[in-house]
């Protein structure tokens, strides 16, 4: 996970400047058009931007989706064709923008962040949406198209879509981006369960690295979901000219989903923080267990060492001294000392056991 992922122009660049991006330029570009009326649904893969011009001259609702890296020249063409604001086009080119909503006269511009799992790490992909009177222009960086489920719904249940205004499709796209948070958080829930079991069994340095990775990724998800909830709230509370009042009942449901995602995210963040404390406590407890065993072993050998040290002194060969050690001359002196030492060790073990020290 990168701490800073926003593309930006050098300080001092005039606003609205479209400059070739250094990263993401290798992503192939595809332009897909879907137009529909109450009785007809059309879908085409466009070779260039100019091919969509004939579809804008009829009365159908038109959705143009640009997937991958769009060069500045292509963005300029789309901007001229749909009268898109230069500042908005700059935000489309410089990915990594904070989710937001902007109103330009009779046009609505929304930026969202789509959280995806790529190579077992969380990545944020920018979704840019323009809503006009009868058209939607959407942009998404990356290779895979996140809106393919929406196209399947259009093909299968076209009548429901075709009978509604274009802002209903606009809501569907926003709802898909918001709901993508649920499977992401579900995967984190499974990871946290596995992590909790590992903490209780035998935590290692890899466990600590796992905890820190989850905490960082949950922090990134918070940076995605928190402003995204505010975007949905603004669309719900404020009046924007391209959107009709009838669509707000659906936005309420979308806002409810965003709140559920945030609550679940905060719960997982608290769990990951508490798991760090559990890891430190577990490591400390494991260290204390080792020290206790070593202390018991050392305590048992203290009297044994004392006995061995006493009878290791050379005071047994002096016949003139009444204080010589007669035990050294005993026939069974050696096995007797062993019996004494074993008895002392056993008595100490019994004593430790009754005290509950092991």
In a shared domain, residues 177 and 305: no
The predicted model scores a pTM of 0.76
Residue 3 banded pLDDT, cuts 50, 70, 90 = very low
In a shared domain, residues 210 and 193: yes
What is the reported pLDDT for 158? 60
In a shared domain, residues 310 and 230: no
Length of the chain: 358
Residue 48 structure tokens: 């260039």
Question: Where is pLDDT greater, at 8 or 278?
Answer: 278
- Angle, helices 86-93 vs 72-82, to 10°: value is 150
Sign of torsion over alpha carbons 51, 55, 57, 63: negative
Among 221, 253, 282, residue at a domain's last position: 282
In the chain, what percentage of residues exceed pLDDT 90?
Answer: 22
* pLDDT digits 0-9 by tens, 139-159: 998 888 899 998 888 887 666
In a shared domain, residues 120 and 151: yes
Residue pair 34/47 in contact (Cβ under 8 Å)? The answer is: no
Residue 13 covered by a domain = no
Residue 25 banded pLDDT, cuts 50, 70, 90 = low
Count how many domains the chain has: 2
* pLDDT digits 0-9 by tens, 252-276: 999 999 999 999 999 999 998 888 8
Taking alpha carbons only, the member of 112, 90, 86 closest to residue 101 is 112
Rounded CA gap, 85 and 120, in Å? 37
What are the φ and ψ backbone dihedral angles of 101, each rounded to 5 degrees?
-135, 135
pLDDT of 9 > 60? The answer is no
**Listed range (34-48, 85-99, 124-138, 309-323) with the worst mean pLDDT:** 309-323
Rounded CA gap, 215 and 101, in Å? 28
Residue 4 covered by a domain = no
In a shared domain, residues 208 and 297: no
Q: Which residue(s) pair with 130 in the sheet?
A: 109, 137
Residue 119 covered by a domain = yes
Residue 190 covered by a domain = yes
Among 282, 313, 328, residue at a domain's last position: 282
What is the reported pLDDT for 93? 86
Among 282, 314, 344, residue at a domain's last position: 282
Q: What is the mean pLDDT of residues 202-216?
A: 86
Q: What is the mean pLDDT of residues 326-332?
A: 77
Q: What is the mean pLDDT of residues 37-61?
A: 79
Rounded CA gap, 234 and 190, in Å? 33
Taking alpha carbons only, the member of 125, 270, 264 closest to residue 186 is 264
What is the reported pLDDT for 65? 92
pLDDT of 321 > 60? The answer is yes
Residue pair 78/109 in contact (Cβ under 8 Å)? The answer is: no
What is the reported pLDDT for 255? 93
* pLDDT digits 0-9 by tens, 104-141: 878 899 999 998 887 778 888 999 999 988 889 999 98
Residue 25 covered by a domain = no
Domain boundaries, position 304: 285-354
Residue 16 covered by a domain = no
Rounded CA gap, 221 and 234, in Å? 20
In a shared domain, residues 330 and 218: no
CATH number where 338 lies = 1.20.58
What is the reported pLDDT for 4? 44
CATH number where 164 lies = 3.30.460.20
């Amino acid at each position: 996970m990168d701490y800073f992922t926003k593309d930006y122009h050098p300080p001092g660049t005039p606003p609205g400047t479209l400059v070739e991006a250094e990263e993401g330029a290798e992503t192939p570009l595809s332009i897909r058009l879907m137009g529909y009326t109450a009785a007809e649904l059309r879908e085409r893969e466009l070779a260039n931007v100019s091919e969509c011009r004939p579809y804008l001259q009829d009365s159908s609702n038109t959705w143009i989706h640009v997937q991958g890296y769009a060069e500045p020249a292509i963005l300029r063409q789309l901007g001229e064709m749909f009268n898109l604001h230069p500042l908005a086009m700059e935000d489309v080119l410089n990915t990594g923008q904070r989710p937001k909503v902007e109103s330009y006269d009779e046009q609505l511009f929304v930026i969202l962040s789509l959280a995806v799992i790529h190579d077992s790490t969380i990545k944020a992909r920018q979704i840019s949406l323009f809503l006009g009177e009868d058209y939607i222009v959407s942009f998404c960086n990356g290779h895979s198209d996140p809106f393919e489920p929406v196209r399947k719904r259009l093909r299968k249940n076209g009548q429901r879509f075709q009978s509604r205004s274009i802002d209903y499709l606009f809501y569907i796209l926003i709802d898909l981006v918001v709901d993508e948070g649920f499977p992401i958080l579900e995967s984190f829930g499974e990871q946290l369960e596995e992590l909790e079991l590992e903490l209780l069994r035998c935590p290692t340095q890899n466990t600590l690295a796992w905890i820190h990775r989850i905490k960082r990724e949950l922090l990134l998800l918070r940076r995605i979901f928190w402003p995204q909830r505010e975007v949905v709230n603004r669309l719900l509370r404020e009046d924007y000219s391209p959107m009709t009042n009838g669509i707000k009942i659906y936005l309420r449901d979308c806002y409810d989903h965003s709140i559920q995602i945030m609550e679940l995210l905060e719960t997982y963040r608290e769990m990951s923080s508490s798991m760090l404390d559990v890891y430190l406590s577990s490591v400390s407890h494991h260290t204390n267990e080792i020290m206790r065993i070593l202390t018991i072993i050392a305590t048992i050998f203290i009297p044994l060492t004392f006995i061995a040290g006493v009878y290791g002194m050379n005071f047994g060969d002096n016949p003139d001294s009444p204080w010589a050690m007669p035990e050294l001359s005993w026939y069974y002196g050696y096995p007797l000392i062993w019996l004494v030492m074993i008895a002392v060790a056993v008595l100490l073990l019994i004593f430790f056991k009754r005290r509950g020290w092991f």
